[in-house]
Amino acid sequence: MHAQSMTSASRHTQDQTRAAYRRHQKRAAGIAQGLGWFSIGLGLAEFLAPHTITRALGMEGRETLVRMYGLREMANGAGLLSADNKAPWLWGRVGGDALDLATLSLGMEESNAKRDNAILATVMVGAITALDFYAAQRLDGLKQVQDAPDYSARSGFPKGARAVHGIAKDQAAVMRPRFIDNPPRYERQRQSAEAAL
Amino acid sequence: MKALRWHGKHDIRCDSVPDPRIEDDRDVIIKTTSCAICGSDLHLYDGFMPGMESGDIMGHEFMGEVMEIGRDVKKLKVGDRVVVPFTIVCGECEQCRRSNFSVCERTNRNKKVGDAVFGHTTAGLYGYTHLTGGYAGGQAEFVRVPYADVGPVKIPNGLTDDQVLFLGDIFPTGWQAAVQCDIEPTDTVAIWGAGPVGQFCVRSAILLGARQVVVIDRVPERLSMAAAAGAITINFEEESVVERLNELTRGKGPEKCIDAVGLEAHAGSSIDSMIDRAKQAVMLESDRPHVLREMMYVCRPAGTLSVPGVYGGLIDKVPFGMAMNKGLTIRMGQTHVNRWTDDLLRRIEEGQIDPSFVITHRGKLEDGPALYDTFRDKQDGCIKVVLQP
C-alpha cells in the first residue's frame, strides 16, 4: 500500500473510532438518563412511603433513615438528568448503593420474618450497582477520549508521509553486522562477490 | 549541580550533588542542554529492574555541550554539541568492531555482576542499574562521558536539540526494531505500543517501505499520533486485535510484528494479563509478556518478531512451541545506537523526518519528579517529556 492509501486507511480508522465513540456515548448517556429517572422514582417512594418499605423488609423503626435515603436518591437523580458531565453523579450512585447494601444487611437476621424480601431487595440493589458501575466507568473512559489532545497533525514527516514512504528501503535488510575493520573471511568473500556483480 | 536521583520505588527527587569530574583521560564532561524521560526509566521508577541503589542519578537520553576534555580525547573539543548514545562503547573490543555496540565487552564496570546475571556481560549504560555499570545518568546539569571519542555524536550547527536529542535512544531504537524486521514492500508491520519507541517504529517502517503499518494501543492520543504518520490503528479495548489484524491481512496475519511495550504490558481485560499481574504480585514472574504471546499467535508463519521493548527477567507461559512450529524469527536486544546514528542524523538533516513531533511535555529538572508521574500515568496526553536543566 502506498503512503496515500495508508493515509486514507488511517483516516478510515479515525472515522471508525469517532463513530464508535459516538455509539458508546449515545448508549452510556441513555443508561445514565434511565438511572436518573429511576433515582427520582425510588427517591420519591422512599421519601413518601417509608413505612411501606420498612414493613416490606421487616425493618420497622428505620423510617427516618429511609426518608434520608430518598432525599439522596432524588438529589442524585436530578444531578444525573441535568448535568453535562454525568460520571461523578453515577459514582455518587455507586456510593449510595453501597450504603443501601450495608443497610439491607441489617435485615438478614434469621429472626426477621421478611428476610426473603430483604434478600430479594439486596439482589436487586446489587444488579443496579453493577449497572451504575458500568455506566460510570464507561462515561469516565469516554471523557478520556473526549479530552484526549489532538496529535493528528504530528506526522513527523516535514515533507509528508507520501514523499518519504520507502525512501530508506535500501536499508531494509542491513541486519548483517557491519565490520569496522578486519572482517572475517566469509564477509570478505561476500564483499568480493558483490563487487564482482 | 542538580540531578534527578532514584531513592526507591516511585521516589525520584531533584537533589544537589557534587559535579562530576574527569576520571579517565578518555572522558569528557558535558553540560546537559536537554534530556528526556524514557519509557524504560519507568521500569526503574516502578521498581521492576533489579540493581538500583538509592542515590543513583537517572537518565540515559541526553545531549549537551562539551565543557572539559580528558588528555587523550582527540575528536571532541570544548564547545562541541553532542548527543550521547545511552550505550557506553569502547570501540575496540570484538563486539564493538562488529558494531554490536550494546554488548560492548569492556564498558560495564561491574562485569562480574553482568557475567553472573546475563551469562556474559553487556555494555555499560548511563543511569540504568548497577548491572550495567552503575554509571551516573543524564538527568543532571553535568554528566561524565567515558570513551568520549567513540560514542558521542557531534551535532552540526543548524539543528535544534529537539530535532536531534532522540538520536541517543528512541529514534535508533525504533529504527533498529524496524530494520530487524527486514521489511519488504509487501509487508504488513504490526506494532504493539504507541509510546515514544512505538511512534518511531511507525515512522521507521514507513521510511523502510512497509505496505501497511498497524499500531495497537488503547490510549486515544497515542493512536492519533500514530495515525498522523499514516498508521492504521487498533484500540485493543474496543476491538479484537487478532480479528482486526487478520482482516487487514486477508486472514494471513502480519509478516512482521514489533513489541514496543516490554515488561509492563497493560492488557487489563485479557485473562493471561490478569494471571501475569497476580504472579508478579507474589514474585512468581518478573515480567508481563502478553504482547509476546499475542505476537506469536497472530504473526504469519515464517514471519519475524522484533522486540525493542525492555524485558528484565523471567516470563511465563510463552507459547514457544507455537513460535518454533511457525518458523518465526525473533530478534531483540538493546539498541546498537552508534550503528545507526550517522545515517539517521543525515535523514534528519535532509528533512526526511523531524523527531521533535513526539515531544508533548517540557520542564526544568526540578519538574522532573512530577513529570515522571505524568508520563507514567499518561496524564494530560503525555507521550514524551523533555527536561532542560
- Give yes or no: residues A118 and A183 share one domain: no
To the nearest whole angstrom, how far is the Cα of A90 from the nearest Cα of chain B?
A: 22
In a domain, A152, yes or no: no
- Relative orientation angle of helices A63-82 and A50-57, to the nearest 10 degrees: 110
Domain C-terminal end among B332, B352, B372: B332
Higher per-residue pLDDT: A108 or B252: B252
Give B201's contacts in chain A (Cβ within 8 Å). none
The whole-number pLDDT of residue A176 equals: 47
Cell numbers given for A170: 535500501
- Give yes or no: residues A93 and A183 share one domain: no
The whole-number pLDDT of residue A119 equals: 92
In a domain, A158, yes or no: no
Instruction: Please name the amino acid found at residue B54.
Output: S
Name the nearest CA neighbour of B293 among B264, B318, B260, B270: B318
Domain of residue B309, CATH code: 3.40.50.720
Torsion B115-B118-B119-B120 (CA) sign: negative
- Give yes or no: residues B81 and B153 share one domain: yes
- Relative orientation angle of helices B220-228 and B196-207, to the nearest 10 degrees: 20
Instruction: Please name the amino acid found at residue B213.
Output: V
Strands B28-37 and B385-387: antiparallel
pLDDT in tens, B357-369: 999 999 999 999 9
The whole-number pLDDT of residue B278 equals: 77
- Give yes or no: residues B55 and B91 share one domain: yes
- Give yes or no: residues B258 and B320 share one domain: yes
In a domain, A36, yes or no: yes
In a domain, A139, yes or no: yes
pLDDT in tens, B318-347: 999 999 999 999 999 999 999 999 999 999
To the nearest whole angstrom, how far is the Cα of A36 from the nearest Cα of chain B?
A: 27
B332 touches chain A (CB under 8 A): no
Residue B166 — pLDDT band, cuts 50, 70, 90? very high
- Give yes or no: residues B13 and B141 share one domain: yes
- Give yes or no: residues A189 and A143 share one domain: no
Q: Is the predicted pLDDT of residue B308 greater than 80, yes or no?
A: yes
Give B343's contacts in chain A (Cβ within 8 Å). 171
The domain total for chain B is: 2
Higher per-residue pLDDT: A196 or B146: B146
How many residue contacts between A and B have a Cβ separation below 8 Å?
Answer: 149
In chain B, % of residues over pLDDT 90: 85
The whole-number pLDDT of residue A2 equals: 47
- Give yes or no: residues B222 and B73 share one domain: no
Please judge whether B212 and A9 are an interchain contact, meaning their C-beta atoms are less than 8 angstroms apart. yes
Please judge whether A169 and B183 are an interchain contact, meaning their C-beta atoms are less than 8 angstroms apart. yes
- Give yes or no: residues B325 and B176 share one domain: yes
- Give yes or no: residues A92 and A180 share one domain: no
The whole-number pLDDT of residue B69 equals: 97
The whole-number pLDDT of residue A18 equals: 53
**Can you list the residues of chain A whose pLDDT is less than 50?**
1-5, 176-177
Q: What angle do CA A89, A90, A94 make, to 5 degrees?
A: 115
Burial class (CB within 10 angstroms; exposed 0-12, middle 13-18, buried 19+) of A82: exposed
Name every residue whose Cβ is closer than 8 Å to that of residue B34 and which is 6 or more positions away in sequence. Answer: B62, B63, B64, B161, B162, B165, B386, B387, B388
Closest chain B residue by Cα to residue A24: B238
Domain that holds residue A186: 171-196
Give B234's contacts in chain A (Cβ within 8 Å). 13
pLDDT in tens, B268-297: 567 787 788 778 777 788 888 999 999 999
- Give yes or no: residues B245 and B323 share one domain: yes
Q: Which residue, among B162, B184, B225, would best test binding to A if mutated, counting the most A CBs under 10 Å from its CB?
A: B225
Closest residue to A169, CB basis, from B97, B208, B219: B208
Please judge whether A1 and B212 are an interchain contact, meaning their C-beta atoms are less than 8 angstroms apart. yes
Dihedral (Cα; B43, B49, B54, B58), 10-degree rounding = -40
Cell numbers given for A15: 472515522
Q: What distance in Å separates the CA atoms of residue B332 and residue B182, rounded to the nearest whole number?
A: 13
Cell numbers given for B73: 580525547
- Give yes or no: residues A131 and A182 share one domain: no
In a domain, A11, yes or no: yes
- Give yes or no: residues A67 and A131 share one domain: yes
- Give yes or no: residues A74 and A140 share one domain: yes
To the nearest whole angstrom, how far is the Cα of B94 from the nearest Cα of chain A?
A: 10
Average pLDDT rounded to a whole number, residues B139-161: 96
Closest residue to A155, CB basis, from B219, B229, B351: B229
Domain C-terminal end among B307, B332, B357: B332
The domain total for chain A is: 2
Phi, psi of B132 (to 5 degrees): -115, 35
B355 touches chain A (CB under 8 A): yes
Average pLDDT rounded to a whole number, residues B189-208: 97
The whole-number pLDDT of residue A78 equals: 86
The whole-number pLDDT of residue A163 equals: 95
The whole-number pLDDT of residue A5 equals: 47
- Give yes or no: residues B320 and B340 share one domain: no
- Give yes or no: residues B197 and B322 share one domain: yes
pLDDT in tens, B45-61: 988 888 999 999 999 99
Please judge whether A157 and B353 are an interchain contact, meaning their C-beta atoms are less than 8 angstroms apart. yes
Name every residue whose Cβ is closer than 8 Å to that of residue A147 and which is 6 or more positions away in sequence. Answer: none
Residue owning grid cell 528526556: B36
Contact indicator for B307, B292 with CB cutoff of 8 Å: yes
Domain that holds residue B75: 2-169+335-387
pLDDT in tens, B73-99: 999 999 999 999 999 999 999 999 999
- Give yes or no: residues A112 and A66 share one domain: yes
Q: What distance in Å separates the CA atoms of residue B340 and residue B275, rounded to the nearest whole number?
A: 38
- Give yes or no: residues A88 and A30 share one domain: yes
- Give yes or no: residues B157 and B91 share one domain: yes
- Give yes or no: residues A80 and A176 share one domain: no
Q: Is the predicted pLDDT of residue B116 greater than 70, yes or no?
A: yes
- Give yes or no: residues A138 and A188 share one domain: no
Instruction: Please name the amino acid found at residue B139.
Output: Q
The whole-number pLDDT of residue A3 equals: 44
Report CA-CA distances (Å) from B5 to B12, B54, B55, B128: 5, 8, 5, 12
Higher per-residue pLDDT: B264 or B371: B371
Closest chain B residue by Cα to residue A166: B209
- Give yes or no: residues B324 and B179 share one domain: yes
Q: What is the mean pLDDT of chain B?
A: 94
Name the nearest CA neighbour of B11 among B40, B54, B43: B54
Q: Which residue, among B181, B206, B218, B241, would best test binding to A if mutated, counting the most A CBs under 10 Å from its CB?
A: B206
In a domain, A160, yes or no: no
The separation between CA A14 and the C-alpha centre of its own chain, rounded to angstroms, equals 19
- Give yes or no: residues A105 and A188 share one domain: no
In a domain, A77, yes or no: yes
The whole-number pLDDT of residue B18 equals: 97
To the nearest whole angstrom, how far is the Cα of B291 from the nearest Cα of chain A?
A: 22
Contact indicator for B176, B335 with CB cutoff of 8 Å: yes
Domain C-terminal end among B285, B309, B332: B332
- Give yes or no: residues B52 and B82 share one domain: yes
Q: Is the predicted pLDDT of residue B257 greater than 60, yes or no?
A: yes
To the nearest whole angstrom, how far is the Cα of B19 from the nearest Cα of chain A?
A: 35
B256 touches chain A (CB under 8 A): no
The whole-number pLDDT of residue B282 equals: 76
Name the nearest CA neighbour of B322 among B299, B305, B297: B297
> Each residue of B342-368: b (16+ CB within 10 Å) or e?
eebbebbeeebbbbbbbbbbebebebb
Residues of A near B (Cβ–Cβ under 8 Å) read 1, 3, 6-7, 9-14, 17, 20, 141, 144-145, 148-159, 161, 164-169, 171-175, 177-182
Q: With a CB-CB cutoff of 8 Å, which residues 63-102 of chain B face chain A?
A: 96-100
Contact indicator for B53, B136 with CB cutoff of 8 Å: no
In chain A, % of residues over pLDDT 70: 72
Higher per-residue pLDDT: B166 or A92: B166
To the nearest whole angstrom, how far is the Cα of B140 from the nearest Cα of chain A?
A: 28
In a domain, A154, yes or no: no
B361 touches chain A (CB under 8 A): no
- Relative orientation angle of helices A3-48 and B220-228, to the nearest 10 degrees: 160
Average pLDDT rounded to a whole number, residues B187-209: 97
Average pLDDT rounded to a whole number, residues B113-120: 92
Contact indicator for B249, B188 with CB cutoff of 8 Å: yes
